[in-house]
Amino acid sequence: MESILIMVLVFAGYLVMYRLYGKYLGNKIFKLNDNNIVPSVEFEDGTDFVPTKKEVIFGHHFASIAGTGPIVGPAIAVIWGWMPALIWVFVGSIVMGAAHDFGTLILSMRNQGKSLSEFTGKYINTRTKYFLFFIVFMELWIIVAIFGLVIAILFKMYPQSVIPVWLEIPIAVYLGYLVYKKGANLLIWSIIAVIVMYLTVILGAYVPLSMPSVFGLSPIAVWSVILLIYAYIASVLPVTTLLQPRDYINSHELIVALALLVLGVLFAGFGGHLHIVAPAVRLHPEGSPSMWPFLFITIACGAISGFHSLVASGTSAKQVRKESDSLFVGYGSMLMEGSLATLVIIATTAGIGMGYIAKDGTLLTGIAAWTHHYSSWAAAGGLSSKVGAFVEGSANMIEAVGIPKVIAITIMGVFVASFAGTTMDTATRVQRYLLTETFPKAFKNRYFSTGVVVAFALFLIFSTGANGKGALSLWPLFGAVNQTLAALALIVLTIYLKARTKRGWIFTALPAIFMLVVSLWATVDNQLNFVDKNNILLQALNVIIIISMIWVSIEGAIIFTKTSYSPTLMDDEMKEAA
């Protein structure tokens, strides 16, 4: 029953805060105005800039910012207990993550759909633009490469997900053709597309496909190459061909997955089978880093994530058709992600206790199941362990609804892999935008610039040989870099609001300070760890990240102190836009 209570209270809290806090930010702080001309209308080109219904762009935005983030982060962070993870997800997503995502989305929409690094140069100075460019480039480089590895590992873990994930592509393309070329009803045909996709899920459950080694490349390396080829094609195509229809299908898939998880919590909870078996707080798990600051680094996408600012100021800002839609897309998507993270916490602290099969084949239940999986940081730290805890716990709960476990596992495996794929090709497209905006003469051609992005990812993937796991060499940098980016985005938002509101800047300034402190703390801690391990590459890159973080923060603070409130500034901007 405690799982049901947690779920109901969190979901109700999100609904209330969306209507109160979210709308307050939109109406009073950012002063949304549908008379402003947005980039999707001003620069409509049918390829990147396309005015889109908020329900469709919500699907794209959510699928892109989510990926495996709200699953992997909470699934490992519960090693410190379910309570710290739940508090951070709930509070962080409302006052930090949602404000961060919504703010960067609206700021990009008021700057011709340009990226975070571009309008950082505008509101601070050109020097900070290039320091931020380095952090953004590093983040996207790691994401494009690592998500190829993530999906490849998911295909190895759940070979039954291979057929459904790949068949979703032609289904999405045909949906886009019907809707955008033939004028078919979007809602009706998207529902039909989702039904067809779930038929492929049943097929995949009983026809799993495993990738063999090819020309000396490991199966994971082969999948990584195939996935990057897909990311290249998906990223140069017009958004209406694949990106929008696929992500609209994914938004329906999200609804189905969340509905099944909610029903699973209710059925298993009221049936007396679902109990939280994890401790509320566990300060010193074996081998784990300190909960402060690493809880706030480990759980990123479920609370606040710098990558979201890149999606908001990358693809989403070029498709939102009017300013009022940005609240639903930006603020609403983050709260939905927090809802998913909450269900992940329940699955990994209660669902796993309904039955967990250890590597030796022993069936464990209750506290024994959770303790075995989270016995140490090393045991819970691998991707397979993180995703496995969520999928197994979710499948246990869904099975209580009456769905066979083999189907439940496939549904959740496809869910995770599909969203990871969306994140991968969105990051590829966003990095192409970044190169084009920063070096317009060299990277104007989208086919060439996307090729450079993919080439960089391939280099990283194979930097350690034919096993295709080279991206793991830079993975230790990602968490702190990602949260550093969130802090810096909040600094830019604070400077923007300081000139346009009397006290509205406080809503981004306090989250900026908090994220800057925990990110710098974690980055310095990482540096000490890299020194102990004598890892010269990570030491060098981490030093550049620390310098960039401090530089942008100091420059931002200087500009902040010089910025004065101008009551007519926002009105003047709106008149110019109109």
- For helices 291-298 and 82-92, give the axis angle rounded to 10 degrees: 60
Mean pLDDT over 90-110 rounds to 97
- Owning domain of residue 6: 2-16+30-577
Please report whether residue 25 resides in a domain.
no
Q: How confident is the model at residue 357 (pLDDT cuts 50, 70, 90)?
A: confident
Please report whether residue 175 resides in a domain.
yes
Which of 525, 406, 10, 64 has the alpha carbon at shortest distance from 250?
Answer: 64
| pLDDT, tens digit, 9 for 90 and up, residues 248-294 | 888 888 889 999 999 999 999 999 889 999 999 999 898 889 999 99
| pLDDT, tens digit, 9 for 90 and up, residues 154-197 | 898 899 999 999 999 999 999 999 999 999 998 899 889 999 99
C-alpha distances (whole Å) from 532 to each of 240, 289, 526, 529, 545 are: 49, 15, 10, 5, 19
- pLDDT value at 577 more than 60: no
pLDDT of residue 186: 85
Most confident range, picked from 138-142, 325-329, 384-388, 441-445:
325-329
Whether the Cβ atoms of residue 257 and residue 411 lie closer than 8 Å to each other: yes
pLDDT of residue 360: 77
Q: How confident is the model at residue 578 (pLDDT cuts 50, 70, 90)?
A: very low
Residue 515 belongs to domain with CATH number: 1.20.1740.10
Which of 299, 325, 300 has the alpha carbon at shortest distance from 312?
Answer: 325
CA–CA gap between residue 87 and residue 72 (Å, rounded): 17
CA–CA gap between residue 367 and residue 387 (Å, rounded): 19
pLDDT of residue 572: 54
Whether the Cβ atoms of residue 168 and residue 234 lie closer than 8 Å to each other: no
Structure tokens at 175: 């949906």
Please report whether residue 23 resides in a domain.
no
pLDDT of residue 135: 92
State the SS3 of 193-207.
Answer: HHHHHHHHHHHHHHC
Structure tokens at 478: 């990602």
How many domains is the chain built from? Answer: 1
Q: How confident is the model at residue 209 (pLDDT cuts 50, 70, 90)?
A: very high
What integer best gives the mean pLDDT of the chain? 92
Strands 363-364 and 356-357: antiparallel
Q: How confident is the model at residue 381 (pLDDT cuts 50, 70, 90)?
A: low
Mean pLDDT over 560-569 rounds to 86
- Please list the alpha-helical segments (H only) found in 357-404: 366-373, 377-381, 383-399
pLDDT of residue 68: 80
CA–CA gap between residue 533 and residue 536 (Å, rounded): 9
- pLDDT value at 379 more than 80: no
Number of helices (H), then strands (E), belonging to the chain: the values are: 26, 2
- pLDDT value at 525 more than 60: yes
Please report whether residue 22 resides in a domain.
no
Q: How confident is the model at residue 430 (pLDDT cuts 50, 70, 90)?
A: very high
Q: How confident is the model at residue 349 (pLDDT cuts 50, 70, 90)?
A: very high
